[in-house]
Amino acid sequence: MLKSLLIDPEKCTSCLQCEMACSFEHEGAFNPAKSRIKVFEFEHGRRAIPYTCTQCAEAWCLHACPVEALSRNTETGAVELDEAICVGCKVCTIACPFGTINYNADSGKVAKCDLCGGDPQCAEACPTGAITYVDANWTGLERMKQWAVKTDSQAPNQSPGA
Amino acid sequence: MDYVVLGAGPAGVIAAETLRRMDRGGRVTLVGDEPEAPYSRMAIPYLLAETVEEEGTHLRHGAGHYDARQIELRQDRAAGIDVADARVRLEGGESLAYDKLLIATGSRPTRPPIPGMDLPGIESCWTLEDARRIIAGTREGARVVLMGAGFIGCIVLEALARRKVELTVVEMAPRMLARMMDDVGGDMIERWCEARGVAVKTGTRVEAIERNDDVLTLKLGEAGELEADLVVCATGVQPNLELLEGSGVETEFGILVDARLATNVENIHAAGDVAQGPDFSTGARAVHAIQPTASEHGRIAALNMAGRETAYRGSLSMNVLNTLGLISSSFGLWEGAEGGERAVAADREGFKYLRLEFRDDVLVGALALGLTQHVGVIRGLVQTGVRLGAWKDRLLRDPHQVMHAYLERARSRP
């Protein structure tokens, strides 16, 4: 059964444990600036939204990559980067309309959420249940899909610029 | 069904793969004119910079990728199309019958009409073969002059600088990246390059090139002369349209196609750099010679060729560039919409710049310098046409709130 990250901003206290865990898992150091999940604060910290890749079906990043460095992990459903293939051209970073694949100047490559191979450390670290890893049917995936359709480049019956 | 795809760049390869997925029994022939596995021109700068090997430029990596999909790869070049017989004439002498034809022949570099432009030691940077010659001609410390500081010129600039050559850039326009950056951004990039040891001569025209004893001399008029061991010309590209002569396929700057990527001639589609298709921002037809457009064109053309009617909303003009570590990007109507409003945050000394362009309360274009995180949401906001409401005024005061505006307006209210 495919699982997805379920994010409930109402429960987020902006403690940044998710960013710490993510950067430690992927970069080997506690460095929120390098985290692939980001917590955005609103109203001077009174409200916060954790935000990362939804592994969308459209996979804009994957289709835009000129050298096939991105591919879908069929077991986890995550779109994963092969760092050895990525040349660092950054086309995926402007192609992804969700802004969830980003350039890392230190590595000269891009980075995105890979669901930690099926054991996402952000969900593991979240103390309030704002980030959980659950059966994909529960995650409001339908809502995400509707959004993906809206941004789709192949939307029939819509005039350009609509 | 016989599908013939002319051009083995990203548009052609993605189209061939999509045709195979849509029609398991059809015959798919992919014709490319270079003696290489299909590769990405976008990756060539990284080959020059020696961060990848030649194989790293290939569009697909698995051995037998095309065989496994029964895509027949042919090395040849189309000489012409006989529309009445539905055949493509190949320069090799054979001809291919088609039921559906895709023209994805891309573009090629142009050179300005200047005396001496055909001398040895003057290279374009377009094909793998060009890259091999440039690599051979650029030992550390070699004097290299780059003609052209547009998008492609600037990508090449980055790669040449990494080869530790003594680099001078000559650009006719008054600023670098004239078609993807405004004065403020162009000036920042120019100063950034100068500070890193690249000489930049904007507003400078090369009037002639001469060659004596392996040394090239560029005559710059009032700006004097420049000596070079190698000249790399990146002054522009143009679509490859010659094969259309006598075919009746309508062209303007590129091949005119509709929202289904179909030309005016039945059973002939076009995609990628060679196609002049719907522009998302203007509704007019434009050539957007960029990777995301090639990829989208290739897929949507193939869907329509295989009988799955699919309309394209149009390509969004966008670019991202690394100039010696300074990352810049541009989206859509970055020059502004008529009657629209603009939000600007510029830190000239800190090399950070963000310019947002609105029509009503919708984002229609943007420029960014020094921004690498979540830059894709700019595309998301432009392409979904999300109404920003009260967030527009906040963005007018502080454009850097764009991610917050996106989360509030686009994600929570789909």
Q: Does A149 touch chain B (CB under 8 A)?
A: no
Identify the residue whose tokens are 């249940």.
A129
* CA angle (A86, B72, B64) in 5-degree steps: 45
Q: Is the pLDDT of residue B233 over 80?
A: yes
pLDDT in tens, B281-293: 999 999 999 999 9
Cα–Cα distance for residue pair B188/B254, rounded to 1 Å? 33
| Same structural domain, A64 and A103 | yes
The pLDDT value recorded for residue A136 is 77
Cα–Cα distance for residue pair B393/B398, rounded to 1 Å? 9
**Is A151 in contact with B303 (Cβ distance < 8 A)?**
no
pLDDT in tens, B136-170: 989 889 999 999 999 999 999 999 999 999 999 99
**Which token pair is B291?**
């990777």
The pLDDT value recorded for residue A160 is 35
The pLDDT value recorded for residue A131 is 96
pLDDT in tens, A86-123: 999 999 999 999 999 999 999 999 999 999 999 999 99
The pLDDT value recorded for residue B62 is 84
User: Which of B313, B351, B371 to probe the A interface (max A CBs under 10 A)?
Assistant: B313
The pLDDT value recorded for residue A144 is 56
Residue A133 lies inside a defined structural domain of this protein: yes
User: B19 vs A59, B15, B16, B127, B305, CA distance in Å?
Assistant: 19, 6, 5, 26, 8
Cα–Cα distance for residue pair A69/A82, rounded to 1 Å? 5
Provide the CATH number for the domain formed by B122-233 in this structure.
3.50.50.60
Interface list for B 308-337 with A (CB within 8 A): 309-315, 318-320, 322, 325, 327, 329, 331
**Is B43 in contact with A66 (Cβ distance < 8 A)?**
yes
Cα–Cα distance for residue pair A149/A57, rounded to 1 Å? 10
Residue A2 lies inside a defined structural domain of this protein: yes
CATH of the domain at A95: 3.30.70.20
The pLDDT value recorded for residue B413 is 43
Q: Is the pLDDT of residue B314 over 90?
A: yes
User: Which of the following CATH numbers is that of domain B2-108+237-305: 3.40.50.1000, 3.50.50.60, 2.60.40.10, 2.40.50.100?
Assistant: 3.50.50.60
pLDDT band of A140, cuts 50, 70, 90: low
Residue A159 lies inside a defined structural domain of this protein: no
Q: Is the pLDDT of residue B270 over 60?
A: yes
pLDDT in tens, B360-404: 999 999 999 999 899 999 999 999 999 999 999 999 999 999 999
As a dihedral over the C-alpha atoms of residue B316, residue B322, residue B323, residue B327, rounded to 10 degrees, the angle is 80
Residue A24 lies inside a defined structural domain of this protein: yes
**Residues B288 and B106: beta-carbon distance below 8 Å:** no
**Residue B228 three-state SS:** strand
Residue A149 lies inside a defined structural domain of this protein: no
As a dihedral over the C-alpha atoms of residue A115, residue A33, residue B378, residue A63, rounded to 10 degrees, the angle is -40
**Residues B366 and B357: beta-carbon distance below 8 Å:** yes
**Residues B402 and B378: beta-carbon distance below 8 Å:** yes
Residue A140 lies inside a defined structural domain of this protein: yes
* β-pair partners for B30: B5, B73
| Same structural domain, A41 and A3 | yes
Q: Does A10 touch chain B (CB under 8 A)?
A: no
| Same structural domain, A25 and A59 | no
The pLDDT value recorded for residue A145 is 54
| Same structural domain, A75 and A100 | yes
H or E segment and range at residue B74: strand B71-75
| Same structural domain, A17 and A95 | no
**Which token pair is B79?**
């000489």
Q: Which of B312, B325, B404 sits opposite A42 (nearest CB)?
A: B404
Provide the CATH number for the domain formed by B325-411 in this structure.
3.30.390.30
Q: Does A96 touch chain B (CB under 8 A)?
A: yes
For strands B285-286 and A38-42, give the pairing: unpaired
Q: In Å, how far is A128's CA from the nearest CA of chain B?
A: 21
H or E segment and range at residue A142: helix A141-151
**Which token pair is A3?**
């699982």
| Same structural domain, A7 and A27 | yes
**Is A94 in contact with B320 (Cβ distance < 8 A)?**
yes
As a dihedral over the C-alpha atoms of residue B353, residue B359, residue B362, residue B367, rounded to 10 degrees, the angle is -20
First to last CA, chain A: 37
Fold agreement (B2-108+237-305, B325-411): no
Strands in B27-32's sheet, in edge-to-edge order, are B71-75, B27-32, B2-6, B100-103, B268-270
Domain regions of chain B by residue span: 2-108+237-305, 122-233, 325-411
* β-pair partners for B8: none
* β-pair partners for B72: B29
Domain count, chain A: 2
Cα–Cα distance for residue pair B148/B36, rounded to 1 Å? 27
| Same structural domain, A29 and A40 | yes
- Kindly report the average pLDDT of chain B as a whole number: 96
| Same structural domain, A98 and A72 | yes
pLDDT in tens, A13-48: 999 999 999 999 999 999 999 999 999 999 888 899
The pLDDT value recorded for residue A44 is 87
Q: Is the four-CA dihedral A141, A36, B189, B346 of positive or negative sign?
A: positive
Find chain B residues with C-beta within 8 A of A144's C-beta: 414
Q: Does B299 touch chain A (CB under 8 A)?
A: yes
Domain encompassing residue A5: 1-52+118-144
* β-pair partners for B5: B30, B102
pLDDT in tens, B320-370: 999 999 999 999 999 999 999 999 999 999 999 999 999 999 999 999 999
Cα–Cα distance for residue pair B343/B323, rounded to 1 Å? 24
Residue A104 lies inside a defined structural domain of this protein: yes
Q: Is the pLDDT of residue A152 over 70?
A: no
pLDDT band of A155, cuts 50, 70, 90: very low
Scored b (16 or more CB within 10 A) or e, B364-384 reads bbbbbbbbbebbbbbbbbbbb
DSSP assignments along B79-99, one per residue: EEEETTTTEEEETTS-EEE-S
